[in-house]
Amino acid sequence: MITSREWQLPGGPNGSERLAARAWVSAGPAEPAWLAVLVHGYGEHIGRYDYVARSLCERGAVVYGLDHRGHGHSSGERVLIEDFTGVVEDVHRVVTQARTAYRSLPLVLAGHSMGGLIAARYAQAHPEGIAGLALSGPVLGRWRIVEQLLALAEIPETPLDPDTLSRDPAVGADYADDELVWHGPFKRPTLQSLDTELKRANEGGDIGDLPLLWLHGSDDRLVPPSDTKTGIDRLAGTDVTARIFPHARHEVFNETNRDEVLDEVARFASRVAAPR
């Protein structure tokens, strides 16, 4: 049996906001072998990762995550991020809480899409606290959507096409019906902050001997793998594994072969968590 709990912790500028955090743990007799912290993408929330978290628990993990400021149940203007430095530190807050409960477990930080950028920046800032970095469809290198929208005088109110998320139609339908998901347009300050943070990541140096797992769908039309690779090449150090899943779309954790993808994460975690 896997249980989950939710709570709030201070975050945002000077701790003035409230961040919604969540943890999943197996109630079975076996102790967890590793700690996973999930970092979600733009416009969504950590509740969309319930299957991912429970599956990782079944594979030996205890899992933590939070809703970014302006997302999900966290406070703040919806999807407004004026500086990603603060978001990286929000992630550090939940990592610190997880570490309080599980001091000895090796940590695998797993970020998806925009969360991949945040996780990468976290690894550049706090490499000493991580055993491995797993990135799913990460926004790295360049993101043409940001460049194209910033060039416009007005940001169009064009919602994300749910069909681009997964070959499983239920994933897109659930996304479209999810009231905690942002279905409106990008906000210009957020786009500007994304552009700035991409440049910081590109110039932030590689992660040395920290193991990196890069997961991506070959048919990802939101974050094309060819653009991400330019960022991976800058970020990766001496230990990098890349898995490009044929015909998969943007959310490989929600794809029709999602258990294959999660097995890949678990194998990576087992390797990086092994005593050296």
Which residues 6+ apart lie within 8 Å of 170 measured at CB?
Answer: none
Quote the CA–CA distance of 128 and 6 in Å, as a whole number. 27
- For the record, the structure tokens of 189 come out as 């300050």
**Average confidence score pLDDT of the chain:** 95
Q: Is the pLDDT of residue 29 over 80?
A: no
Please list the residues that pair with 108 across neighbouring strands: 36, 132
- In degrees to the nearest 10, what's the CA dihedral of 108, 109, 113, 115? 170
User: How many other CB atoms are there within 10 angstroms of residue 208's CB atom?
Assistant: 11
Structure letter (DSSP) for residue 268: H
Q: Is the pLDDT of residue 143 over 90?
A: yes
Task: Quick: pLDDT tens for 40-57.
Answer: 999 999 999 999 999 999
- For the record, the structure tokens of 64 come out as 């933590």
Q: How would residue 163 be classed by pLDDT, with cut points 50, 70 and 90?
A: very high
Q: Residues with catalytic annotation? A: 113, 220, 250
Task: Quick: pLDDT tens for 67-104.
Answer: 999 999 999 999 999 999 999 999 999 999 999 999 99
Q: How would residue 28 be classed by pLDDT, with cut points 50, 70 and 90?
A: confident
Which residues 6+ apart lie within 8 Å of 137 measured at CB?
Answer: 112, 113, 116, 215, 216, 217, 220, 222, 223, 228, 250, 251, 252
Q: How would residue 17 be classed by pLDDT, with cut points 50, 70 and 90?
A: confident
Region of 72 (left: φ > 0; alpha: ψ -120 to 50; beta: rest) is left
Q: How would residue 130 be classed by pLDDT, with cut points 50, 70 and 90?
A: very high
177-197 mean pLDDT: 96
Q: Token pair 């069909």 is at which residue?
A: 163
149-156 mean pLDDT: 91
Backbone angles phi, psi at 260, to 5 degrees: -65, -40
151-175 mean pLDDT: 93
Task: Quick: pLDDT tens for 218-256.
Answer: 999 999 999 999 999 999 999 999 999 999 999 999 999
Backbone angles phi, psi at 97, to 5 degrees: -65, -40
- Decide if 69 contacts 99 (C-beta within 8 A): no
Q: How would residue 160 be classed by pLDDT, with cut points 50, 70 and 90?
A: confident
Q: Is the pLDDT of residue 157 over 90?
A: no
Query: Which class is 2-273 in CATH?
Result: alpha beta
What pLDDT score was predicted for residue 276? 63
